[in-house]
Amino acid sequence: MEQPSRRNVLMTGGVLGALGALSVATPAQARPLWTWSPKGSVVGAGKGVDPRWVWDEEADPLVASLIDRGDVPKVNMLLKTWTKNGQALPSGLPADLRAFIEKARQLPSWADQTKLATAFRFNQKRGTYLGVSYGFASGMMSTVIPHEARAVYYSKGGADMRDRITKTAKLGYDIGTRNAFLPDGEMIVTCVKTRLAHAGVRHLLPQSPYWTKVADEQIPISQADMMVTWHSLPTTVMKQLNRWKVPIPADESAAFLHSWQLTAHMLGILDEYIPNSWDEANAQAAQVLDPVLAPTPEGVKLADILLHLGVTIDGGILTTHILGALTRYMLGDQICGWLQIPREPVWDPAFEAFWPTFVAIKEGLLKITDAPPGLLQIYWAFDEIIRLGTLLFLSGGNLPISIQIPTTNNPNY
């Protein structure tokens, strides 16, 4: 593989700052060459550039400028009031930021509102499974994705993991709502703000001596990193549903994928990297996600923090053990070994026995048309209470949740 020069990196990624030339080969560079074809993407074409050397050429220089000129505190304050997709942007925003957001909030031409409506029907039926999978398959998997674990740990988010998880949970909540991408929904806002936050991390994290000491990349959150995280969500969740033998109609399966394809686009992932089918998603995940999973000291610490989030409820008497057992059931012995999660002699076999039975019973009831009446709505109301309760717990009751551009790295490191 040709070694990227400083000039090529900055031109491709749009990242400012004196990062120096990319000179010495790293473990990331030693991975197999990028071979996934853009013909398998949602647009069916592209340059085919290795996504490890592509960042966000629109957001990165803009946010770097906002940080360097001291505009971020004012911007964060103003953007707190922007909560709905179709809402006018607040007055007082810098002109360059306003122009960026107005462009970034537009749905792509391939967005399909019919599929999004079907995706909501899928979420209604499978909300319980999705919530558990997002939390204990996707969420805990993030701690064994080295680039993600290190970026989280040494950036500002690592200083307050409850706040960091709250903002991540908001994205998972928003995508499951009826109006996620409609004017009165919030998913577009959440994606655009997350895109700005990522650009802030790209600018700030290379300035951290703690991160640069352990990182095998010079600029964090590349397009490859973002796709790895993306696969830890919908691709991993769908594999879990298939593992549990959940019968999913083809139109609902495609619609669920479409909602996440659209999310990838709104987060700033280039269309040429977004798979156009589950087969393509699985093929890409086999190349970019599966080979990178590994333990890191940072990931082990983050996992421990996540497992102890319920300490305020019961002092960890039950919650920590239950969360650990759920993680083992979702991700298996190897990953739990990496994360130093102990076996639970009571809860491990309980989940092995209980969860398949729970899924079978729920799916059996769903097959009985309108018996009892409104069963789907009852399920959805129950799941919604749980999801909202989770957000309230994580946020400490501080709603609405506002995703912000960082101005510092983790002050503890």
Would you state the pLDDT for residue 248? Answer: 93
- Among residues 385, 105, 58, the alpha carbon closest in space to that of 202 is found at 58
**Helix then strand then coil, % of the chain, to nearest 5:** 65, 0, 35
Place of tokens 């650990």: 324
DSSP code at position 41:
B
pTM for this entry: 0.87
Per-residue pLDDT of the chain (413 residues; tens, 9 = 90+): 333 433 343 333 333 233 232 223 334 435 667 899 999 999 999 999 999 999 999 999 999 999 999 999 999 999 999 999 999 999 999 999 999 999 999 999 999 999 999 999 998 888 888 888 888 888 899 999 999 999 999 999 888 887 888 888 888 889 999 999 999 999 999 999 999 999 999 999 999 999 999 999 999 999 999 999 999 999 999 999 999 999 999 999 999 999 999 999 999 999 999 999 999 999 999 999 999 999 999 999 999 988 887 776 667 778 889 889 999 999 999 999 999 999 999 999 999 988 888 888 877 766 655 445 555 565 555 555 555 555 544 445 555 678 999 999 999 99
Distance of CA 285 to the CA centre of its chain: 15
Measured CA to CA, the distance from residue 384 to residue 394 in angstroms comes to 15
Helix (H, G, I), strand (E, B) or coil at 56: coil
Would you state the pLDDT for residue 399? Answer: 58
Measured CA to CA, the distance from residue 250 to residue 399 in angstroms comes to 36
| Cβ–Cβ under 8 Å, residues 325 and 351 | yes
Would you state the pLDDT for residue 388? Answer: 54
Would you state the pLDDT for residue 317? Answer: 76
Would you state the pLDDT for residue 5? Answer: 38
Structure tokens at 312: 């305020």
Element (H, E) at 284: helix 278-288
Structure tokens at 311: 């300490």
Place of tokens 């609405």: 400
CB contact set of 255 (below 8 Å; sequence gap of 6+): 115, 116, 117, 118, 119, 121, 122
DSSP 140-174: HHGGG-HHHHHHHHHBGGGG-HHHHHHHHHHHHHH
Would you state the pLDDT for residue 31? Answer: 60
Measured CA to CA, the distance from residue 240 to residue 231 in angstroms comes to 12
Structure tokens at 408: 């510092």
Structure tokens at 367: 């097959």
| Cβ–Cβ under 8 Å, residues 356 and 244 | yes
Residue 71: phi, psi to the nearest 5? -90, -10
